[in-house]
A and B are shown apart, each in its own frame.
Chain A
Amino acid sequence: MEITIIAETQGNQLHAVTRQLVGAASSLGVSPTILCAGGVGADEASGISGVGKVLSVNGDCFSTFDGGAWATAFDAAAGEGVIMGAATAQGRDVVSRIAARRNIPVVQDVVTLSDGLNMTHPIYSGKAMQDVTISGSCGITLRANTFSPAGDGGSAESATVQQSGDVKIAVKEAIAKASERLDVSDADIIISGGRGMGNPENFDKLYSIAEGVGAAVGASRAAVDAWDPIPHSMQVGQTGKTVNPSLYIAVGISGAIQHLAGMRTSKYIVAINKDPEAPIFKVADYGIVSTWEEALPILASEIAKLQ
């Protein structure tokens, strides 16, 4: 079986997920070919263990992201078999277009992959999993951080091809990441503070962590009632918002039943509270018995390491 990986990049480098794609291909006993858009990351790619070949695909189209143009160029450069990418916005776009060009199916957001090809991907936002098998050629995108990354020590042959496609998208204006605060209803990660935060100024500590991971900051009713600078729009609970994020971090929140009503269906709950008897620990997947003053700086630096 042949696997061609569309390298995922970040700036002028490979994105960490690219190594995970190689790792997944290796686990199937395949030495994949990596396609690098405009040659970005090609040098690093050839040093990844298990890579069969690196192809820098050079073309005018790679100055702007246009899934259609990129798919045209990659399609011409890639071999038969499996086209593999990362399950990011761009990865999904490009891989599904290559699959459509080739009249082969595509399966996105794969979390397990084994010979055959048997694969599993979450459906209904992870409330169920779907197992499928494809025996012929196909497109696949893999979810980041679910496959072991390949290490260094490779020395794959590197080549360059000229391929491009018609660019139909024009960028009119780049907009820097807004520092606006996310709403708890829209966020996949929420960090909430309670009256245990002592005063509203201390919520700044929550904001600085939240900014790093794209999280929203929430609050318990006790905090909203006590402090004017904490608006009702931040309130999670019975009379506030009902939230359902992947991760909910409750800081200095005791866990009154009214608060639990708004957040107990979160996929994972972390509680930081100095009182080991606080009811929030009953619903927490990971409880940390500590003052927030001690725990938050460590949390901030540990999360920063992951970025």
Chain B
Amino acid sequence: MVYEALDFYDIDSQLTEEELMVRDMVRDWVEEEVLPKIEEACSEGVFPDEWRVSLGEMGVLGAPLEGYGCPGLSYTAYGVICRELERGDSGLRSFASVQGSLAMYPIWDFGSEEQKQKYLPKMATGELIGCFGLTEPDYGSNPGDMVTRAEDKGDHYLLNGAKMWITNGTTSDLAVVWAKLEGVIRGFIVETGDEGYSAPEMKGKHSLKASVTSELVFQDCKIPKDRILPGVKGLKGPFSCLNNARFGISWGALGAAQACFHSAKEYALSRIQFDQPIASYQLVQNKLSWMLREITKGQLLALELARKKDNGSWIPEHISLAKMNNVDIALDIARMARDIHGANGILDEYCIMRHMANLESVKTYEGTHDIHNLILGRHITGIQSFTRSL
């Protein structure tokens, strides 16, 4: 079945020639190299290493960053890349988000010149893989209370604590870890092989199965003094990273939604019940038209947000709205698509159930759906409702 991306308002006609070429490059790669292997990758619970190599060769890692071997594309192009990757699988987009927005970005924005030169060129080519350690077993939506801490030991720092739900953790060459130094949140670069550092993989996921998820454990982990990110203090550091990653998700979720819509439409047209294609029945048309409506609205939201990112007129709340909305509708579309597929919808013959299970994670990570609602609530009322203690 040839993939036709739903683009009801011809939104891609707003893209530049360069952005369209990037779109086609990633779309073709996903079509030819990812989709034929994704089910196997999921059932084996691995992220195929050849995908890392290809992403590096295509040059899409750290897409909107400039200099140090990074591509320097627009945020719109970055959004398009995320959309096309996530049309393949949310785990694939997660890999790229974590590498680009969560590991490369903080080094690029807050790192020393030496750190940038040492890590960024090799991260852009995929030779080095990074991960991002913020969430802890007991501190998810509330990262400010994290317990991982760093101590200044004169000629080195000593890290202690644990991080959880870390994408790419086990397979990473370096981790950007947020820890409290004298009570202030700071970023540190921990390299695989550093004494006292381990990253065991978390098993048993029913979601993002083709993505590696890990714990990061620091037991008297000793790192050199030049591994602290000098340019940022406090939650602003990790939140800057998350803004970029959430932006990518707002586009990526649409890719998953488009894939589900495409499959549902094709299925509805070919599945015969009561002597007619089920696409001819009003209840099915109602579902398809709802999907089209929500995807189109999501696309307009994502495009306008990308323009704001590119011209600098964005605020974090804009990103919260788009991330929350687009993941939410993508998940509903996946569930509705499963419904249209009937029993066939649970089979690995179709992308539906995989996207649905993935999107359950996407709804929760990078700021849960509800936290984004509260961010908007605070924006509207001026009253924060995250915590009772003020």
Contact = CB atoms under 8 A, between A and B. Distances in A.
A237 B349 CA distance: 9
B349 A239 contact: yes
A257 B266 contact: no
Contacts of B267: 257
A238 B267 CA distance: 10
A221 to B, nearest CB: 7
B276 to A, nearest CB: 13
B153 interface: no
B1 A261 contact: yes
Interface in A208-262: 221, 237-239, 242, 257-258, 260-261
B270 A258 contact: no
Given A239-B349, A242-B1, A261 B266 contact: yes
A97 interface: no
B1 A221 contact: no
A80 B119 CA distance: 73
Contact of B2 (A242, A257, A258, A264): A242
Contacts of A221: 349
Contacts of A242: 1-2
Interface string B296-327: 00000000000000000000000000000000
Nearest to A258: B349
Contacts of A282: 272
B343 to A, nearest CB: 11
A282 B39 CA distance: 30
Contacts of A260: 270
B280 interface: no
B68 interface: no
A278 to B, nearest CB: 14
B271 A257 contact: yes
A45 B271 CA distance: 55
A258 B350 CA distance: 9
A46 to B, nearest CB: 52
Contacts of A264: 270
Interface string B342-377: 001001111000000000000000000000000000
Contacts of B2: 242
Contacts of B350: 238
Interface in B27-42: 39
A257 B270 contact: yes
A282 B275 CA distance: 12
A221 B347 CA distance: 13
A220 to B, nearest CB: 12
A30 to B, nearest CB: 45
B39 A261 contact: no
Interface string B273-298: 00000000000000000000000000
A248 B266 CA distance: 21
Contact of A239 (B266, B270, B348): B348
A192 to B, nearest CB: 17
A257 B1 contact: no
Given A257-B344, A258-B344, A261-B1, A239 B271 contact: no
B349 A238 contact: yes
B270 A261 contact: yes
A123 B128 CA distance: 50
Nearest to A240: B36
Contacts of B347: 258
Contacts of A257: 267, 270-271, 344
A29 B169 CA distance: 80
A260 B267 CA distance: 11
Which of A237, A242, A261 has the most C-beta atoms of chain B within 10 angstroms of its own C-beta?
A261
A275 B371 CA distance: 57
Nearest to B35: A239
A242 B271 CA distance: 17
A239 B344 contact: no
B21 to A, nearest CB: 25
Interface string B239-273: 00000000000000000000000000011001110
A219 B266 CA distance: 22
B352 to A, nearest CB: 11
Contacts of B39: 239
A260 to B, nearest CB: 7
Contacts of A239: 39, 348-349
Interface string B74-93: 00000000000000000000
Nearest to B2: A242
A261 B349 CA distance: 11
A93 to B, nearest CB: 32
B99 to A, nearest CB: 28
Interface string A108-139: 00000000000000000000000000000000
Contacts of B348: 239
Interface string B2-13: 100000000000
A238 B347 CA distance: 11
A238 B270 contact: no
Which of A239, A242, A258, A282 has the most C-beta atoms of chain B within 10 angstroms of its own C-beta?
A239
Chain A to chain B: the 3 pairs with minimum beta-carbon distance, closest first? A238-B349, A258-B349, A239-B349
23 contacts: A221-B349, A237-B349, A238-B1, A238-B349, A238-B350, A239-B39, A239-B348, A239-B349, A242-B1, A242-B2, A257-B267, A257-B270, A257-B271, A257-B344, A258-B344, A258-B347, A258-B349, A260-B270, A261-B1, A261-B266, A261-B270, A264-B270, A282-B272
Given A238-B1, A260-B270, A261-B1, 13 more contacts: A221-B349, A237-B349, A239-B348, A239-B349, A242-B1, A242-B2, A257-B267, A257-B271, A258-B344, A258-B347, A258-B349, A261-B266, A282-B272
Interface of B: 1-2, 39, 266-267, 270-272, 344, 347-350
